[in-house]
Chains A and B, each alone.
Chain A
């Protein structure tokens, strides 16, 4: 399940909802794994005061659904949830939630890491960070591509 939204999310409520869906589906789930991405302020002169997340409506949802399908092909998952926020955020705000559920912990944990690595390099989001009153676009990092490539 994919959600792209400006508003914040409640990870506890989402976990409860996922467990209810799993129970309803009758899946024999053994573990859920969650990852929450949070806006960092950084340190020193580069301290970030605000962030704006731009995205490509339509393609964003398609790419996230494609990444979810890849994870489901690879691991036996009972449920998947990706929530990614857009718009204006400040340090300490939640950006992204990834939840996975599977019969075994290893599959849930690996799929969660795979999803977070892949969405970082594939989903069309762009961060603009504000620091000392100036906004600048965040450059992609080679280490992110390397993190995604390790799943090939």
Chain B
């Protein structure tokens, strides 16, 4: 599974992307986030305030209950801020 991080989440975890084997027992986005928090370091801090964390799976916005499979591309990022004032 490819995992991508953007904006301040990328800065907090310290990497833009990584390959992760779907951890045993993790079947959805919420489960993956719980696993991320156990990794310590920047990961714990990046996933503390879940009201400002958004997820995409295979480049589509999803919610926490979205199922995951090993070939998925998962991205974590803050709420988007494009466009104009």
Residues of A within 8 A of B (CB): 35-38, 40, 53-56, 58-59, 62-63, 84, 95-96, 116, 119-128, 137-140, 144
Contact = CB atoms under 8 A, between A and B. Distances in A.
Contacts of A35: 84
Contact of A124 (B77, B84, B85): B77
Interface stretch (B1-9, B25-33, B36-44, B64-72): B1-9
A1 to B, nearest CB: 18
29 contacts: A36-B84, A37-B85, A55-B82, A56-B6, A56-B56, A58-B59, A59-B60, A84-B83, A95-B82, A95-B84, A120-B82, A121-B79, A121-B80, A122-B61, A123-B80, A123-B82, A125-B80, A126-B6, A126-B78, A127-B82, A137-B7, A137-B8, A137-B78, A138-B81, A139-B78, A139-B79, A140-B78, A140-B80, A140-B81
B80 A59 contact: no
B75 interface: yes
A36 B78 CA distance: 25
A137 B77 CA distance: 12
B30 to A, nearest CB: 21
A53 B83 CA distance: 10
A96 B61 CA distance: 22
Interface string B1-25: 0001011100000000000000000
